[in-house]
Structure 1
Amino acid sequence: MLTVMQVLGVSSEDEMVACFLRGELSSQRFGQNLRSQLAVAGQAEQLLTHPDLADAGANFARRALLAATRGYGENRDLFENFPTQVTWTRALLSADEAACVRYLDYSYWVELSGGSRRPTDAAARVKAGLRTFDVSNEPFVDAAQALLTGEQFPPLILVGERQDDLVCLEGHLRLTAYALIGFQTEIECLIGIAPNMGRWAK
């Protein structure tokens, strides 16, 4: 049983959406498509880089963007079977708590971790030079180095039915980078809890 995590305060769906999009904007894999959808919507990157959560119109635009790129609110793609009613909080995870977070049940992350979906196992395989599906490990190594030089990462987004059984929704690369340096610092997260989250967070 984990210790009770340090809760920083109440969060919201709007903050989660803003945090998710901000994280993906800097992603090598997802950033380009997100920028394309921003252009289609006639929106500037500032919508994501400087989110105003008090602006209802901006919140709506971000939800529409996450729907277009990842299926949010439409029960498809990444958000298939994702609950509609989720309680969001901000929290700090200790090293032990972060090490227990599981990756999404997706083939790449399952393989990277040797089947366990644990970031510590993935980090060990990366350090051993094992490549998953012939994809370079360099982004993990670069992110770990950035942490060591003091770079601050956006919060991870984690979800589950309970706070002691969490799956990563957004931030897999960053979670792996934290594992590579041994979870040297507490990790700021957005935590989403819902009684039926198990349908998504298998």
Structure 2
Amino acid sequence: MRELGPSSEDEMVACFLSGELSSRRFGQNLRSQLAAVGQAEELLTRPDLSDAAANSARRALLAAARGYGENRDLFENFPTDVTWTRALLSAAEAARVRYLDYSYWVELSGGSRRPADAAARIKAGLRAFDIPNEPFVDAAQAALSGERFPPLILVGERPDDLVCLEGHLRLTAYALLGFGVPTGIECLVGTAPTMGRWAR
């Protein structure tokens, strides 16, 4: 893993929300949450990490949408003492990242939670719970065409044993391309001694 420099909780929250805003599955709910609190999308699309009020608003938004900081939903058992780093992963390192322990990703990967196994199953025409695989194929084509994706957010007790927190579709798209991204795969890596309670 090539470390690019320190990151922060505020950057992670901004990155997480930016990734979900562009998601077909989660984007509309996030827009509804923004509207409910009278915030514009620019809070997420143009984050100013030096603005404490904006950082607080984003944390509140992630709490409302996904349970961040409230020990519920996606962030149940997620530690508070996380060290965040910006990094680039090689193809081999990215191939070792595991999916979240969630039924869809377990099924898509044939039980391994490895994106390379999911990619092989997608190429074989297999679906998880009969959900179409086209979004993965479309994202892989976009990456092949040079589109730059937001960083993946990966967590673990150590940098060599990581689970995907945000960016599963992008991770699967990279897997479909054999993780062959010439510049490396950009990510935020969060580590904590107690992360194993979340990153099983």
TMscore range, shorter length: over 0.9
Question: 2: distance between equivalents of 1:126 and 1:173?
Answer: 12
SS at match of 1:189: strand
TM normalised by structure 1 equals 0.98
Aligned: 1:147 with 2:143: yes
- Aligned-partner SS, 1:173: helix
In the TM superposition, what is the alpha-carbon distance from 1:158 to its structure 2 partner? 0.1
Matched, 1:57 2:57: no
Once the two structures are superposed, the pairs formed by residues 154-165 of structure 1 within 5 Å of their partners are 154-165=150-161
Q: Structure 2: which amino acid aligns with 1:199? A: R
Q: 1:136 aligned to 2:132? A: yes
**Residue 37, structure 1, aligned to residue 33, structure 2:** yes
Give the aligned length: 198
Alignment partner of 2:189 out of 188, 191, 197: 191
Q: Deviations over 1:96-145 (max 9, x none)?
A: 00000000000000000000000000000000000110100000000000
* Residue 18 of structure 1, CA deviation: 0.0
Q: Distance in 2 between matches of 1:181 and 1:81?
A: 33
Which residue identity does 2:198 align to in structure 1?
W
* Unpaired stretches in structure 2, ≥5 consecutive residues: none
User: Aligned equivalents of 1:148 and 1:79: distance in 2?
Assistant: 32
- Report 1:12-27 matches (<5 A): 12-27=8-23
Matched with 1:116 is 112
Shift of residue 69, structure 1, vs aligned partner: 0.2
Kindly report the root-mean-square deviation, in angstroms, between the aligned alpha carbons of the 2 structures. 0.3
Deviation at 1:200, TM superposition (A): 0.1
Aligned amino acid, residue 112 of structure 1: L
CA distance in 1, matches of 2:193, 2:108: 29
User: Alignment partner for residue 71 of structure 2, among 63, 75, 90?
Assistant: 75
Gaps of 5+ in 1: none
- Name the counterpart of 1:166: 162
Distance 1:115 1:161 in 2: 22
Is the aligned partner of 1:105 residue 2:101?
A: yes
Q: Percent identity?
A: 83
Structure 1 segments of 4+ aligned residues over 3 angstroms from their partners? none
